Amino acid sequence: MKDLTEGMDVSAGAMPARRGSTRALISVGVVLVLAGCWEAVKALFDIPIYKLPHIHQIFAEFFHESADGQWMLGILLENAAVTAGEAAIGFLFGGIAGFGLALAFSRSSLIERGLLPYVIASQTVPILAIAPMVVVWLGTSWVSKAVIATYLTFFPVTIHVLRGLKSVDPDAVALLESYAATPAQIFFKLRLPACLPYLFTALRVSATASVIGAIVGELPVGSQSGMGVVIINAAQYYNWRPVNLWGAILISALIGIAFYAVVALMERFIVSWKPRTEGEATA
Amino acid sequence: MSFAVEVDGVSKLYGSGQGLVRALVDASLRIAPGEFISLIGPSGCGKSTLLRLIADLASPSRGTIRVNGKSPREARLAREFGMVFQSPVLYEWRTVLRNVLLPLEVMGVPAAEARDKARAMLNLVGLSAFENHHPWQLSGGMQQRVAIARALVFHPPLLMMDEPFGALDELTRERLNNELLNLWQEQEKSTVLFVTHSIQEAVFLSSHVVVMSPRPGRIERIVDIDLPRPRTAEMRSQPRFFELVSAVRQALREDGSEEAAHGG
């Protein structure tokens, strides 16, 4: 009898908070297990520091003072801010451009048939090959990096939003037409809200891609700052100080995770009507 | 006398050559204002096609349609149609109340007035308690009641229903039949065009049942339903109800044998 009431207590009300803390526990657990594996493998196979440093060495590196007396973490964060800014601008313009293309494609199958193959082809070209040319054309300022971030951002948005716009129930359109709705009303009351879940699926992908784009844009010679520059330098001096590169990788990953989290948070507020399913990833 | 709907020699063809589909051939029909007309027949008989032609969701290949003396397009632009489809077609990002508000928003009704009307309508279909729910939180029958509230909230002179209860179980369907008639009898009676494949439903609801047959889709016969109004659930078990159901079934079967003769 006692067991039964306890079980019911869990099913009512107590569940969401419990689920949230369980998820946090799992996240922390995964990090701990991975760290454990890292150190275990290192100890087991006697891997030298230049191949795989200790985890505590990487964190210690953040507080290592550079030649001009600044903590490495400060230098990393300054560069991370530069990269994040470029990625954010690229993400914004990529989102707008991707959405515009999807709209154009959904309006006219002629435009879709004519242009879509080139849009797809544009994504098959290795970004590493294009980046140096963009930098040559546009200079080494933030503009060229943002353009490369845009280039990686717009494609998922175009593909997903196009699918969202096409998924609109014809009867839902017929309904609005039976009210003599204007094309603008059909767009704002039906097509736009209907494609929002698709847009956010794309933005989750694009959020991390835009950070990659900005970093790749910083790799060519001539760039002064950003995580790409840090990574190139750290790679050059890897044998001398391997923890530098690992620290740079960690910070770069955190930018991507932060971008993803912002998008996921926006989605939760904007697409709030959707039933939240078990499998759905939440940052 | 002026008619709510006049259909005169209307045909609708799709495709061409070998792939030509004669969805509807030479249909003629006159509906007086305030009548409840059911279109019944097997799939492919053109009943939904006829509804969509009248609602200006498609245009006829031949023939003319007049709605209250206007062309279907003029009638649509004058907002004379309330539409209910087989699936509720609720906008899932809108709450129940805001779904019912949708036509009023499109038509530019002031917000406060629109809200009062939508709430009154939700009260009539018994869903006041659910106005802030989202569609996915409602059962299929409740969703279709929201769709009916949305169709009636602006008092359209012509209510078009395309198999609205086709996806519901028998018990829910009978209950919604009663509710629909109550709604229709309470309000100033609009003209209703109701597509169905249920004989009982057609007989229970209608003043006339239009029996249609497939390949090519055409109007076969019109059965007048002389059950008195207001109709009550008890009438479903009265002899006259069964006679009329048999008459409609007979009309449908005649089409079937004819089709077999043509096809054989």
Q: What is the pLDDT of residues A141-174, one digit of tens each?
A: 899 999 999 999 999 999 999 999 999 999 999 9
Residue numbers in A near B87 (CB within 8 A): 169, 171
Q: How far is A265 from chain B (nearest CA, A)?
A: 18
User: Chain B neighbours among A 179-208 (CB < 8 Å)?
Assistant: 179-181, 185, 189-190, 193-194, 196
pLDDT at position A6 is: 39
Q: pLDDT band at A17, cuts 50/70/90?
A: low
pLDDT in tens, B77-109: 999 999 999 999 999 999 999 999 999 999 999
Dist. CA A94–CA A102, nearest whole Å: 12
DSSP-assigned beta bridge partners for residue B212: B219
Q: Is A225 exposed, middle or buried (0-12, 13-18, 19+ CB in 10 A)?
A: middle
Q: pLDDT band at A15, cuts 50/70/90?
A: low
pLDDT in tens, B114-147: 999 999 999 988 899 999 999 999 999 999 999 9
Dist. CA A16–CA A45, nearest whole Å: 43
Q: Around Cβ A238, how many Cβ atoms within 10 Å?
A: 14
The values of phi and psi at residue B25, to 5°, are -125, 125
Q: A246 is written with which tokens?
A: 């690992």
Q: What residue ranges do the domains of chain A occupy?
A: 2-44, 69-270
Query: B41 pLDDT exceeds 80?
Result: yes
Q: How far is B173 from chain A (nearest CA, A)?
A: 21
Residue numbers in B near A186 (CB within 8 A): none
Q: Per-residue pLDDT averaged across B19-31, rounded?
A: 90
Q: Around Cβ A147, how many Cβ atoms within 10 Å?
A: 23
Secondary structure letter of residue B237 according to DSSP: G
Give all strands of the β-sheet with B21-31 in edge-to-edge order. Answer: B21-31, B5-14, B62-67
Residues 6+ apart with CB under 8 A from B224: B207, B208
pLDDT at position B15 is: 83
Element (H, E) at B81: strand B81-84
pLDDT at position A5 is: 39
Secondary structure letter of residue B79 according to DSSP: T
Is the preceding peptide bond at B216 cis, omega within 30 degrees of 0?
yes
Q: Per-residue pLDDT averaged across A223-239, rounded?
A: 89
Pairwise CB contact (< 8 Å): B93 & A181: no
Sole residue written with tokens 């690992």: A246
Residue numbers in B near A169 (CB within 8 A): 87, 89
Residues 6+ apart with CB under 8 A from A251: A76, A77, A80, A227
pLDDT in tens, B178-228: 999 988 888 777 899 999 999 999 999 999 999 999 888 889 899 999 999
Residue numbers in B near A177 (CB within 8 A): 57, 76
Which amino acid, A72?
M
pLDDT in tens, A27-71: 899 999 999 999 999 889 888 888 888 888 888 888 888 777 888
Is the ipTM beyond the 0.95 threshold?
Answer: no
pLDDT at position A213 is: 94
| CB of A66 closer than 8 Å to CB of A52 | no
The class that CATH gives domain A69-270 is mainly alpha
| CB of A151 closer than 8 Å to CB of A157 | no
- Cα of B101 vs its chain's centroid, Å: 21
A168 at B interface, C-beta within 8 A: no
Dist. CA B10–CA B28, nearest whole Å: 7
Q: A93 is written with which tokens?
A: 């313009």
Minimal CA–CA distance to A158: which of A193, A190, A123, A124?
A123
Dist. CA A58–CA A249, nearest whole Å: 11
Measured CB to CB, residues of chain B less than 8 Å from chain A are 55-57, 76-79, 81-83, 85, 87, 89, 91-95, 102-103, 105-107, 134, 136
Residue numbers in B near A277 (CB within 8 A): none
Q: Find the angle CA(A185)-CA(A187)-CA(A191) to the nearest 5 degrees.
A: 130
* Helix locations, A237-275, DSSP H: 243-270
Rg of chain A over all Cα atoms, to the nearest angstrom: 24
Average pLDDT, chain A: 87
DSSP-derived 3-state class of residue B129: helix
DSSP-assigned beta bridge partners for residue B218: B213
pLDDT at position A79 is: 93
For B107-121, the DSSP string reads TT--HHHHHHHHHHH
DSSP-derived 3-state class of residue A169: coil
Least confident segment among A205-209, A240-244, B11-15, B142-146: A240-244
pLDDT at position A65 is: 82
Whether this model's pTM surpasses 0.90: no
Is the preceding peptide bond at B228 cis, omega within 30 degrees of 0?
no
* A179: closest chain B residue by CA: B79
Which amino acid, B259?
E
Query: B264 pLDDT exceeds 80?
Result: no
Dist. CA B31–CA B192, nearest whole Å: 9
